[in-house]
Amino acid sequence: MAQRVRITDVSPRDGLQNEAGVIATPDKARLVRLLCEAGVDEVEVSSFVSARWVPQLGDAAEVFALLHDAKPKGTLFSALVPNETGLEAALAVNQAAGMRLIDRVAVFTAASETFSKKNTNATIAETLKRFDPVIKRAKAADLGVRGYVSCVAGCPFEGEIAPEKVSLVAQGLWDLGADEIDLGDTIGAAEPADIALLINAMTTRLGDRVLDQLTLHLHDTSGRAAECVVEALALGVRSFDASVGGLGGCPYASTPERRAPGNLSTQALVRTVTQAGFTTGVAPERLDAAATFARDIVARARAETRTQA
C-alpha cells in the first residue's frame, strides 16, 4: 500500500509574513478555510510575534477568531511563538474559543548565530533557554510543539552551515521536548546531496527514530526544492511544509531587482510526492482554488502598495 505523506501548508504564515501590503484579516481566514477544504494535514495559520518585527501578522488572534468553525476533523492548526508572551497569546486564543483551536505551537531558532540574532534578537543558546518554559507550558496545556531550525543548508550572512551544527541545535530542541523537528532551508540553497548529508547528520546524532518526527521546510529559491523532496522521501522523511501558490520569498534571498521565489509550492509538493508513489490527503483541484485565491490577495496588496508609493 502506498505510504502517506503529511503536508503542512505554511502560506498564511510564511507566505504572508514578508508582504509589504496589507492583507485583510478576513482574506487570511478565507485562505485558511480553502486550505482546510483542500485537505492539507495542518495549516500554520499565523505567528504570535512582535508586531513591530512582523507587522503583517499582527492580527493573529483576530484571524483565529474567524476560524472557530473552520477546522475539519483531523486537520491541525498551528502558530509560531518565539517566547512566553507568544505562548500566552496562543493559549488565550484557545481559551476564547472554548476549544483547542490551536493544536500546536512552533518555536524557532537557527543553525546560524547571525541569523538567530537578526531574526529574534537572541543567540541560539538564548533562544533555547527561552523555549524551555514555553515548551513545558505548551505540553502542560496539551499542545504539540514544533521546533524549527533555520539556515540548515546555508545562511544569508554566514554562508555554509555544517550539517553537524544543524543536528546539534536540533538536539537542543529535542532535549527540551519538541515533538517535531522542522528543518528550514531558509534561503532555498539545498541541493539533493545537501539533504542526504543533513538527514545523515540527524540520524547519526538522534537515531533513526528522529525520521518519524522530522519535517522538511524548503524554500525554492534555486528551483531545486522538488528534487530535494525526492531525495528526502528516499531517505525516509514523510512530512513536508509548503506554501500554496509558492507564496513567500525570503527577504534575505531577494535583491532590489528580483524578489526571491517563495516556499516550495504545495501544488508542486503534492505532484512530486504523488509521482514518487506516495499518497496525500489533498484534492489537487481544491488546492488550485486556494492557490488562485492566495495569488489574488497578494497581487491586490502589492498593486495597492505600488499605487501608494
Buried b (16+ CB within 10 A) or exposed e, 104-115: bbbbbbbbbbeb
**What is the rounded distance in angstroms from the CA atom of residue 179 to the CA atom of residue 130?**
17
Q: Binding to ligand HMG by residue 82, rule CB under 6 A? A: yes
Q: How far is CA 246 from CA 32, 44, 158, 205, in A?
A: 15, 15, 26, 32
Number of residues that bind ligand HMG (CB under 6 A): 23
Sole binder of ligand HMG in the list 54, 264, 287, 290 (CB under 6 A): 54
The contact set with Mg ion (CB under 5 A) reads 14
**What is the rounded distance in angstroms from the CA atom of residue 202 to the CA atom of residue 198?**
6
CB of 118 to Mg ion, least distance (A): 14
Stretch that binds ligand HMG, among 82-90, 173-181, 195-203, 206-214 (CB under 6 A): 82-90
Q: Which position's Cβ is nearest ligand HMG?
A: 184
CB of 14 to Mg ion, least distance (A): 4
Stretch that binds ligand HMG, among 27-35, 41-49, 266-274, 300-308 (CB under 6 A): 41-49
**Residue 108 interacting partner from Mg ion, ligand HMG, none (CB closer than 5 to 8 Å by kind):** ligand HMG
Residue tagged 532590489 (cell numbers): 256
Other CB atoms within 10 A of residue 293 CB: 18
Q: Binding to ligand HMG by residue 78, rule CB under 6 A? A: no
Sole binder of ligand HMG in the list 47, 75, 78, 109 (CB under 6 A): 47
Buried b (16+ CB within 10 A) or exposed e, 227-253: bbbebbbebebbbbbbbbbbbbbbebb
- Residue 32 sits at the vertex; the CA angle it makes with 226 and 65, to the nearest 5 degrees, is 150
φ and ψ of 194, to 5 deg: -65, -40
- Amino acid at the residue 143: L
**What is the rounded distance in angstroms from the CA atom of residue 196 to the CA atom of residue 78?**
28
- Amino acid at the residue 253: A
Sole binder of ligand HMG in the list 11, 46, 119, 213 (CB under 6 A): 119
Nearer to Mg ion, 14 or 194 (CB): 14
**What is the rounded distance in angstroms from the CA atom of residue 134 to the CA atom of residue 25?**
27
Q: Binding to ligand HMG by residue 204, rule CB under 6 A? A: no
Sole binder of ligand HMG in the list 121, 200, 204, 275 (CB under 6 A): 121
Q: Which of 11, 6, 39, 5 is nearest to 23 (CA)?
A: 11
- 155 is a catalytic site residue: no
Q: Binding to ligand HMG by residue 272, rule CB under 6 A? A: no
CB of 241 to Mg ion, least distance (A): 8
The alpha carbon dihedral of 58, 118, 214, 34 has a sign of: positive
Q: Which of 79, 75, 33 is nearest to 57 (CA)?
A: 79
Stretch that binds ligand HMG, among 115-123, 161-169, 172-180, 277-285 (CB under 6 A): 115-123
Q: Binding to ligand HMG by residue 217, rule CB under 6 A? A: yes
Stretch that binds ligand HMG, among 20-28, 83-91, 92-100, 286-294 (CB under 6 A): 83-91
Site of interaction with ligand HMG (CB under 6 A)? 14, 17, 47-50, 53-54, 80, 82-83, 85-86, 108, 119-121, 148, 150, 184, 186, 217, 219
Q: Which residues are marked as active site?
A: 250
